[in-house]
Structure 1
């Protein structure tokens, strides 16, 4: 069983309101920096265990994979600043993959990669489709691949992928602990005012909720007549529901921190998050395969509706309180 990666709800969410003091410093130190520190530590452990245990004790590598992937999902809504630079976010997480580029890229590397290709300096230049957690997910858990590719070949590529994940995670952590944190916590060329930094955090919340609504649930739900269970995120490793849960739990923390000076809004958001997370936990459907079953589908749709209710509260109550709006994000064009 995977170790749960969620920050405890007892974290101190005591940042003062925007009118009294900026919200960004508290959220940066209590949520963002710990998330990227955990990602770096778990990614490093994944790379180490892949090198030492891929052939001899693959269960240890698999556990490290789940731990590191949990850490990425917990940090993944912070898709600005260091994560945007040099396609780092996509290099860790190329998803959704609408055209099957990741399976094609992984198969191509397995067929013709050389030791030189897999060296860290060279592998860093590979396509984002061949790198990151989703490439590793396909490599480790695709049943057809397991039956056709020798374990040694798969392990060689797994080592290249995990060392690249660790490299990127270490860069993200370093930049968040130092340079970019200072940009978030004091007026800077990036964020001239506290309101601009708050808007960035608010956008992280709205985009994270939208991703869960439109992609994590919307893609596998498809339509009633044509559900698409194989579009569920990381279904091969049975992580689809897990990703939804980890994301919602961490967005819950962010929402409470942003609403700290609006008690009624905070109470509403807390109640709505608790309801939707509880509903998701009761699904007991790791791959969201229930989208193809009429009764189970209704329960998944109820979770989706709960997320839409959250999005409405955030847009109509939290945003006006903060004096910000989400603006455009990359999902809006999908």
Structure 2
């Protein structure tokens, strides 16, 4: 990501906002993701058919998006095997095709499936199996049915592990910066800026990737590069990610953030104007493309508002990232 932060920090009360962000937002949302992943797996073991699983799948995906952009600790380490996207070279399709063609028994045990390529695990592999006509015509008892059950079982296992990693270890590192043995966060300002950075990175990823990738160029839109377009949830992911970034910003600040709230309202209003939640029609009509560009601009507005109302108050300012080559 192009975003990096050069921080100059002022003295602050003990871990202001971090406790709220961790205990009131991140940990409860991780628990929701675990619960929905468990419910999806229970449903799959009972009935592997796409029609039976689309509801619990989307509930789990909603919960995943709410935590997916907090790339800290166990989430940083485990995110790719839950959501391998963008898949620029089509590895998910290739790996799923190979597994099914070879009837590979690596899917038979959780330990074996954990060794499968991350391209054929998690949300986007499941999206293919449930929504792609090239994959979703399988019968109960088939290898593909067993593969779906292996996918949901693996997702459940990963959700449980990530939540446990946060609850048992990583949350304490954020909540006790500078404590003996805590070499991850040496003082309260480091914990604050760690969460603040995730907020802005999430908004940047949403604008640049979730919207920027399908927008492509005016003369060459790339709608099939939209996130989860087969499941028709590209717009949902944009909204959930943006709303969650604002939720974290509210928690990190212990004051009102009216500019940010107004910017979020503009995002929600712009989203209501978009008729195709999968973004697949943006190449057919420049008006539809314009609506997506407006949404992208409004998300940038949320980021700017958070910088002004939260970052400035904490003495955190955006800085140059040498990796950009700018």
Using CA pairs below 8 Å that are at least 6 residues apart, which structure has the higher relative contact order? Answer: 2
205-214 or 108-117: which moved more? 108-117
Whether the 8 Å CA contact 1:256–1:269 is kept in 2: the answer is no
Change (3 A) 1:18 1:300: farther
| C-alpha distance after superposition, 1:19-71 (max 9, x if no partner) | 2331211110000000110111111111111111114xx43322111111111
Counterparts of residues 206-217 of structure 1 (less than 5 Å): 206-217=200-211
The Cα RMSD (Å) is: 2.1
The CA distance in 2 between the partners of 1:89 and 1:169, in whole Å, is 10
User: How many pairs were matched up?
Assistant: 308
The CA distance in 2 between the partners of 1:90 and 1:241, in whole Å, is 21
- Superposition deviation, residue 328 in structure 1: 8.7
Q: Aligned match of 1:64 in 48, 56, 66? A: 56
The CA distance in 1 between the partners of 2:93 and 2:231, in whole Å, is 15
The CA distance in 1 between the partners of 2:146 and 2:74, in whole Å, is 29
Counterparts of residues 10-21 of structure 1 (less than 5 Å): 19-21=12-14
Unaligned runs of 5+ in 2: 1-9
The CA distance in 2 between the partners of 1:320 and 1:68, in whole Å, is 35
Q: Aligned match of 1:81 in 50, 57, 73? A: 73
Counterparts of residues 83-232 of structure 1 (less than 5 Å): 83-85=75-77, 88-147=78-137, 150=139, 152-187=142-177, 188-232=182-226
Change (3 A) 1:165 1:332: farther
TM-score between the two structures when normalised by the length of structure 2 = 0.88
Q: Aligned match of 1:255 in 249, 254, 264? A: 249
TM-score between the two structures when normalised by the length of structure 1 = 0.86
Q: Which residue of 1 aligns with 2:274?
A: 283
Q: Which residue of 2 aligns with 1:242?
A: 236
